[in-house]
Structure 1
Amino acid sequence: MKAIQAVKKMVALGVGLTMVGATIFGASAAKLSDYPAPFVMNGTPASNLAIVVGDQADGADVLGAVDIIQSLQSQAVVKVAASNTPSQLVVEGDAVEIGSTSDLLEINEQIGDVRETLTEVDLDMLKGGQITTDQGSTEFNQYLRFPDDNTSSGSVLFDKDERDRVGHYMFYNDSTTIFQWELEFEEGLESDVTGNDLVDLEDEDITILGQPFVIVDTDLANKSNLNTAGGSPDLTIELIGGAVSAVLGENDKETYVVDGKEYEVEVLVISETAAGGEGSVKFRINGEITDELEDGETDVLADGTQIGIRDILATGKDIQKSIVQFYLGAYKVEFRDSNTTDSTAIVGAEVNEETIEDANVLIKGQFTTTTANALTSLTGARFEIQNIKYNLTADAVLGDMYVPPGTGVRAQLDEPEGMLTPNWDIRYEGLMDTGVSLIRLDSAGDDEYDLEFTNQEGIFYDVPYLSNEAGNAAGGTLKFGDNDDDLWFTEFLNVTIPSFSATANVNTSDRGGAFTTASGLGRQVFYISDDDFFVVSNCDLSNTDNTCFTHVLRYDSIDTTNRQLTFTDLGTGTREVTYDATTFLADLVVGGITYKVGVNNDATSVATPNNIYVDLNGNGIRNNCTEVMVGLQGEGTLDLGNQLHPSANMSGANFSLPAANVSACGGLAANGTFVGATEAIPAGGLNLSQHVNTSNLSLVTFTKEFDEAAANENISINVTARTGNEIGIQSVRAMSGPYFSGLLDLEENDDLSQALSGYGSFFELFDPSGSDQAEDLTIEYPLSQRGARIFVTGGVVTTSTTEAGGNERVQPIQIGAAKLASEVSDISQYNAVVVGGPCANTVAAALLGNPEKCYESVPENKAIVKLFEHTNGNVALLVNGRTALNTRQGARAVATGAIAKATGMEAEVTGTTLADVTVRAV
């Protein structure tokens, strides 16, 4: 049913970025409990809202209708964040954000482009320290580095993940570097060599990525020969750390807690003869007996917890008990490099006895005492380590790595142990909450579009944009405006082209210049006629000045006796101005800007009686082919398209028609750069053959609004005429800009497709399946550039959100929504509230099937509130009382929201006064 599709559309278009990839709930039939929907949805009045009373309505009916209008208006409010409001995400703990206010992490920008290296200045987990051995002391430092190789890996993208879920993700190509960790020894970590051991390093403490470790074993070999002046030193370093570090003697028993679980640990036996006299140990842990363990070895319990041995002191004496130092909840890391003198990294890392296949290790070290002769042993040599570098590459379970908001890299890795230690992560917390301004191309059936936007003053506009309705004023072809009236956004001069010849004769008196007089100008100057819409906007796009106040007005009427012009500002209401008796000029002041209006004073004019022209850009100059742009809340601009010169239609009234880019009108080129206007006439002159049945609506963000950008962002929405006088959105694509992805179809809802631009503009196209209704497009335009929130976190970190600063914006119910029944020829074209019974209201009579006895449509002393659902998806809510008081009581139940307590589509309202109202579902 189209009713289901209509509600489903409203739900879907209200979802926005916070629900990208989530399942959109299917809609059901309209019911009273949905009130104020569908008359007000998501704080926005329905564009086809009507409140209908009978032509001979009782005063009580009118008061009831007023109550309902006031109720709907009070709920037509949307939350708007203050401009440049910082994100409301709060991260507490050892954490650092990659982006900052001075250097935003942009969409599709690599982490390493913003922060190539992190140190202990940024994170406590990267704190260095000092190691002192018998060979001296050295400071050690830790670094985290991120690649910046001009690829998309390690950036935030909008895409489908490996499971075809659409959304924004922190993304890594499979097998590309995620991070490099380096442990640097400033003075070099030096040790004597005994056998194959760096004996001075063993049992030394060191902290790695926030986790305390001890070096439990080393193994050094010089593979080519035992000549320390050459060869290829092959070095392995083993470290153990853990949640609990403890010391127990033989036969001792103690209880420890790891991750909330108790472990009873008992040392069964310590052997002083095992491992060549180094000793071994066996434990009983919660009744489970471990393997016999030596220094540096680990064992895994049945629940996955590890125990690791740091040191065994086996005395073999009765008077001195043998003891063992161990880790419970142990974590073991091993680094190996087969040649510490070259620059080739190898797969040489193990974590908890598992080889990390997606990591490589590079250790830089060398002998500091050398001999030219081959030795029988390395004992007596001395070796120094300069640094250890560890690189982890992406290997997700399903290929490329997609990290959704609120999660981290660790959870996506096939081998999460590759993070080296268990308590840190690289987390994606979503896009910045900048606040947004909504832009909508809202279909009116299958043949018209309205354009909705909010200007930089916070004023909401709902403007008739394009019509392809059969029999419209342009003869059933695509035109700007609605079915009957035109929308103008381009200044034109008088261009007279006899017989549409190849040469154009221009009336020099009408060529433009300052607005000094409108008297005596040719009729083609005056192309804005009664009831037409026009856009005024003072954007100076030639200087990339996008700070401007845009208003859309309708030319309502002229009173030639009193020289008065009446306009309706679609966002603020009625305006009246008086024009001069000599110059026929008036000053129209809108948004603090004065726009000159010229009136046609040619009494003999037939085609353009009382038409006007307007200085649409407010610069005081009459120009030819100068297009004005819409300035949006958030500093973006809208290019409404190319408009055919009205002189192309010489035979009658002017029409506002789309044109190919042949009329040399000023505007924005494909790359978002302003192109100045000319007065050139195309070869062959201006004629209707240059009219095209397609138009591009372009959303442009200038480079100055970006943190970094080489070109303006220009996203073009192509609207085209279709067969059968239908209309639709053909494409949404980037003409220029740093990044654009989409439209991508949602797997879980085939009616929706979504896209995201580099500035952070989010696009959602609703294309109802099984319906001939035109597509709807909703754009969330950020009030400032939307950056990506990526954090490197260490240890326990919590995230929370706080309320954004900002205010509420009232979405006005349009003037004219209140109608008499005689003004409604087809109630199914509206989402309507009909007040009054069939005796006083012909629309109510039609809804009820024109009952023969109109007064018996409702039981005595009651009102009936009932929903009627039309096949096109619109609904009518009838408030019908047996008496005038009963009707007003029903209206009061609607206005107060009491009707929303009823289930189903019909309810009965009773009571003795307006304050005493009871609602019961029927």
Structure 2
Amino acid sequence: MEIRKVLRKATAVAASASFIGATLLGAVAQDLSTYPAPFVKDGMFDALIVVGADAQAQDVVGAVDVGASLQFSLKKAATTGGTAEATIDTGWKVQKSGNKLNYGDNVSSVMDSTSLGEEDLPTIFADGKIVESEGDNKNSEKYTQELWFNNKQTSILKYAQDDDDAPKANDYLFIDKNKELYNYTLEFDSNVDYTNTSDTTANDDLKTATIAIQGKVYTITNVQLVSAGGKLDKMTLLSGEAVLWLTQNNPIKKSISGVEHTVEVLDVTEDADACQVKVDDVTAIVDVDETKTINGVQVGITDVRAIHAQLQDVDVCQVSVGASEITIENAKKVKIDDIEVDGSKGWLTSNAVGTWEGIEVTLSPKDLDDNLYLAAGKAFTDPIFNSWKIIFGGISADYEEYSVKLSGDNDATFKFINNDGKTVEIPIYYNESNLAGGKPYTVFLGDGNDIDERIYAAGNKTLQVAAHPGLVRISNCTGTSSVEDCEGMRILATTTGGEAHLFEITDIDTTDNTTDIRDITYGKDYDDVPYTDRKVVAVANSTLDLGSFGNTIVLDINETAKHVGVVKSLAATIETKAGGSIIIDNSQGVNNLSITFREVNRALGTDITDEVTATNTVNVTLDPNSDSELQLFVGGTYLYSSVAAEDSADDHIYVTSAGTKVTSDTENKDSFIVQMPTAEVYGNVFVAPIVAQVSTAASGVSSYTLTKLSVGAAKLDNEISDAGASNLISVGGPCANKVTATVTGTTCANHGIAQGTAMIKAIKQSSGKIALVVAGYDAVDTRRATRVLANYDQYALTGSEVVVTGTSLTDITVKKPAV
């Protein structure tokens, strides 16, 4: 047991004032329920995390956990009304010369037979140089690295749902485990020469040479030839987080994966073919060119020097700490630490014996249990060199929504946004009795069967051609007692620019031959609009002058016949705000009405994106079933059809190649929702270093950006000269951390922390800054408390202080301190 632990135990009972319950001079409580405030504000980290310069590894690991948790807290809510655009702090976006990754596209097609290299990812595929002077040949050759995505049958942007691999219907980057994902090449400008008499002569030339591959330095530890006098067949390389020469009995401290370890060479074998290495308190013998895990750290030995001095041996070993061994053998699976990577193949390229031209590696990710569906924010990391990843940052899209929804057996509502940004709402009605009366049209625009409940519309006869198919037929309102019975009738009309309006005739004055008309869509009234009573055929129809709307509505008003006929109201096909167009057609059959959405404008010219054609359509048909209930049926041209939604088996999603999405209840057939993009829809896919982070902002909704936890935010206690100058998270008790002693006013001999416990305490300093102390009776207790703080959302942290007890990192109890 450490002396300081004994001292703490001896003084804990005798402490005159409990630290956990102490009232500190000048200190004011800060409520823990607000954590991670004030250390995180507006997505920025405003504090220092402090550990003792001589702290145990448990304190360090605990501080790392707290920092990792705070990194996630550095998210800042943002709202945007524009197209979502994912960004990355470092990496390359799959996008070439304006060619983006649209639905159905693959990474290979977007890259168009080009590769990634130093210009795209300089930290991973930097040009390099191999220099070696061993053996008979001296080499100093430059090389380039390239990454190719050549297969068009994988890395595809899809909208999909799979019960096992993609249970939620969504956008995914699809990676086929059985298709080649990538091809990596390292190519020397000039050949590297070696003597190929035997494996021994080849090793004399190449062994111990170092080469940087994908941002990591590898040491060649062994090569083999196909046969004596032949080409290279097999090469073993060793990498590590640190490769260094260690002198016998001179320990060093090294941080591996965020945890500090003490590494020491204790001895070298008599034949200088192995080293005895100690990591912390665990010792093992590691052969040259081999690796071994010691106390959780992978250690490799690449070279040994046995130096026998007069007074004592001072042997040295070249040690790779955190090592990983990779073996490349021609046309065979690549091995990582002697384990084959399924679906991989490697080659040591050469055109002539005695020369080495480079390295080639391919991967079909067969190690995956099944095909991979990368959801937004997810990544696939290269399992061979572990230096880069493919990240799917979701899609960039801004949608405009239209809907057709049923409300009962006979009623529906169609809602869309016109090209002026106004919402147009059109009721639809099914008249079951109309069919029995021998009348052909049973599904009407309107909300009832009475003449003043109907919506009337007509296209000019000159527009009833292929360029504008299916415009709503000419409609007539005929009153029972007079033409005034048609008051309340509504007219669906468009300007010549396709701007849709819904009008209502609110009054017909047969004395003055005027009518009052209300523009329901725009909330505007037109009073006393003159008309001509068309008593005989020779009298012209009335063209209504509706001011800013124009004069595109033509009516046949006949007072004698008690008749108002809509001769023309649709001067052009309806155009939406997104730039698409809508055709309402109830002329195609006996019982139905059809609404078609097109991804091109009214003139069949400009489209909503640069990826569609005039043939792309989305369609819903309103048709009664055998039980005389109105139902909705999906039609159209889709890239992905009838994809089941996660939350309801009734809902299915349909997606066009341009990104229009339709969600329809295909079981109850009562809902049809269209999301039509206002701009090009594309996937945000990145090839990036494994440490890269993606930030996205969803269109028109709250989203988050993530700020990197600042380098330098972690400090040792002896680096803090003024504890009140910053907000602090101080990990470790006063024996291990001088900052804890300062802010709490305690000492190692007088801390008051009971055995088996730890505390989390927030203290407001006289400067106004907050010090959060995480301290335990010993390092294990401290780490348990840091685990609570890292998972703060899982525990009831209230007041200025809590006590943490437990027997492990999973058996944890948090409670208020005893009064």
TM bracket, shorter-chain basis = 0.5 to 0.7
The answer as to 2:663 corresponding to 1:764 is yes
| Match in the other structure for 1:321 | 314
Verify the 8 A CA contact 1:493 1:524 in the aligned structure 2. no
2:434 paired with 1:450 = no
Letter in 2 for 1:131: I
Q: CA deviation at 1:428?
A: 0.7
Secondary structure in 1 matching 2:627? helix
Query: Aligned residue for 1:694?
Result: 592
Cα gap change, 1:126 to 1:533, in 2 (>3 Å): farther
1:635 aligns with 2:598: no
SS in 1 for 2:108: helix
Counterpart residue number, 1:132: 131
Aligned with 2:542 (options 585, 607, 610):
585
Taking the TM superposition and a 5 Å limit, the aligned residue runs for 1:433-472 are: 434-468=397-431
* Aligned residue type for 2:506: D
| Alpha-carbon displacement from aligned partner over 1:397-446 (angstroms, at most 9, x marks no partner) | 44222111110123xxxxxxx532223200111111x3221111121222
1:251 and 1:80 mapped to 2: Cα distance?
Answer: 59
- Cα distance between partner residues in 2 of 1:408 and 1:185: 31
8 Å contact from structure 1 (residues 177, 393) kept in 2: yes
2:209 equivalent to 1:204: yes
User: Post-superposition shift, 1:580?
Assistant: 5.4
User: How large is the RMSD of aligned CA atoms in angstroms?
Assistant: 3.4
Separation in 2, partners of 1:630, 1:524: 16
Moved over 6 A (4+): 471-476
Distance 1:791 1:179 in 2: 14
1:407 counterpart = 2:406? no
Q: Please, which runs of 5 or more residues in structure 1 have no aligned partner?
A: 1-78, 338-345, 369-382, 411-417, 495-509, 513-522, 540-546, 618-627, 645-658, 661-690, 808-922
Q: Is the 8 A contact 2:494 2:500 kept in 1?
A: yes
Query: Number of paired residues?
Result: 583
Give 1:468 deviation, angstroms: 4.6
**SS in structure 1 opposite 2:322?**
strand
Partner of residue 307 from structure 1, selected from 296, 299, 309: 299
For the pair 1:785 / 2:680, whether they are aligned, the reply is yes
Number of the residue aligned with 2:43: none
1:836 corresponds to: none
Counterpart Cα distance in 2 of 1:254 and 1:640 = 79
Give per-residue Cα distances to partners, 1:362-401, cap 9 Å, x unaligned: 3321435xxxxxxxxxxxxxx2222322111133644222
Cross-structure match for 2:334: 349
Please list, as runs of the form range in 1=range in 2, the aligned pairs for 1:889-908 lying within 5 A after superposition: none
CA distance in 2, matches of 1:221, 1:174: 31
Aligned to 1:537: 494
Matched residue of 1:177: which SS?
coil
Distance 1:456 1:525, change over 3 A: closer
Q: What SS does the corresponding residue of 1:633 show, helix, strand or coil? A: coil
Report the Cα distance in structure 2 between the residues aligned to 1:711 and 1:390, rounded to whole angstroms: 44
Q: Which residue of 2 aligns with 1:597?
A: 553
Deviation at 1:321, TM superposition (A): 1.8
Structure 1 CA distance for aligned equivalents of residues 233 and 691 of structure 2: 34
Partner of 1:175: 178
- Kindly tell me: are residues 419 and 481 of structure 1, through their superposed partners in 2, closer, same or farther at Cα, counting changes over 3 Å? same
Tell me which residue corresponds to 2:631.
728
Find the counterpart in structure 1 of residue 468 from structure 2: none
Q: 1:347 touches 1:357 (CA, 8 Å); kept in 2? A: no
Cα distance in 2 for residues equivalent to 1:399 and 1:762: 27
Residue number in structure 1 paired with 2:257: 259
1:105 aligns with 2:101: yes
- Report the 3-state secondary structure (helix = DSSP H, G, I; strand = E; otherwise coil) of the residue aligned with 2:553: strand
Bigger CA drift: 245-254 or 581-590? 581-590
Instruction: Report the CA distance between 1:92 and its aligned residue.
Output: 1.0
C-alpha offsets along residues 623-642 of structure 1, whole Å, 9 cap, x if unaligned?
A: xxxxx53312211222223x
For residues 709 and 483 of structure 1, the distance between their equivalents in structure 2, rounded to whole angstroms, comes to 38
Give the aligned partner of residue 755 of structure 1.
Answer: 654
Identity of aligned residues (%): 16
Partner of 2:358: 387
Aligned partners of 2:407 and 2:446: how far apart in 1?
Answer: 12
Segment drifting more, 527-536 vs 457-466: 527-536
Mapped pair 1:799 → 2:691: no
Which whole-Å CA distance do the structure 2 matches of 1:465 and 1:270 have between them? 90
Instruction: Pick from 504, 517, 521 the counterpart of residue 554 of structure 1.
Output: 504
In structure 2, runs of 5+ residues without a counterpart are 1-77, 466-472, 479-485, 533-538, 601-605, 703-819
Matched with 1:491 is 459
Alignment of structure 1 residues 485-524 onto 2, 5 Å: 485-491=453-459
Instruction: Give the structure 1 partner of residue 519 of structure 2.
Output: 569
Alignment TM-score, normalising by the size of structure 2: 0.65
Determine if contact 1:733/1:740 at 8 Å carries over to the other structure: no
1:753 alignment partner AA: H
Q: How has the CA–CA distance of structure 1 residues 314 and 533 changed in structure 2, closer, same or farther, with 3 Å as cutoff?
A: farther
Deviation sequence 1:226-246 (CA, Å, 0-9, x none): 455xxxx35112221122233
Aligned with 1:743 (options 632, 635, 642): 642
Q: Kindly indicate whether the alpha-carbon contact (under 8 Å) linking 1:104 and 1:707 is maintained by their aligned counterparts in 2.
A: no
1:430 alignment partner in structure 2: 394
Match of 2:281 among 272, 287, 294: 287
The CA distance in 1 between the partners of 2:225 and 2:344, in whole Å, is 21
The code of the aligned residue for 1:208 comes to: I
Distance in structure 1 (CA, Å) of the matches to 2:205 and 2:229: 21
Correspondences of 1:155-174 after superposition (within 5 Å): 155-160=157-162, 162-163=164-165, 164-174=167-177
**Secondary structure of 1:427's match?**
strand
Give, in whole Å, the separation in 2 of the partners of 1:121 and 1:404. Answer: 28
Displacement, 1:98? Answer: 0.3
Separation in structure 2 between the aligned mates of residue 385 and residue 511 of structure 1, nearest angstrom: 73
Q: Which amino acid aligns with 2:323?
A: A
Residue 777 of structure 1 deviates from its aligned partner by 2.1
* 1:81–1:435 contact (8 Å) kept in structure 2: no
Q: Deviations over 1:24-58 (max 9, x none)?
A: xxxxxxxxxxxxxxxxxxxxxxxxxxxxxxxxxxx
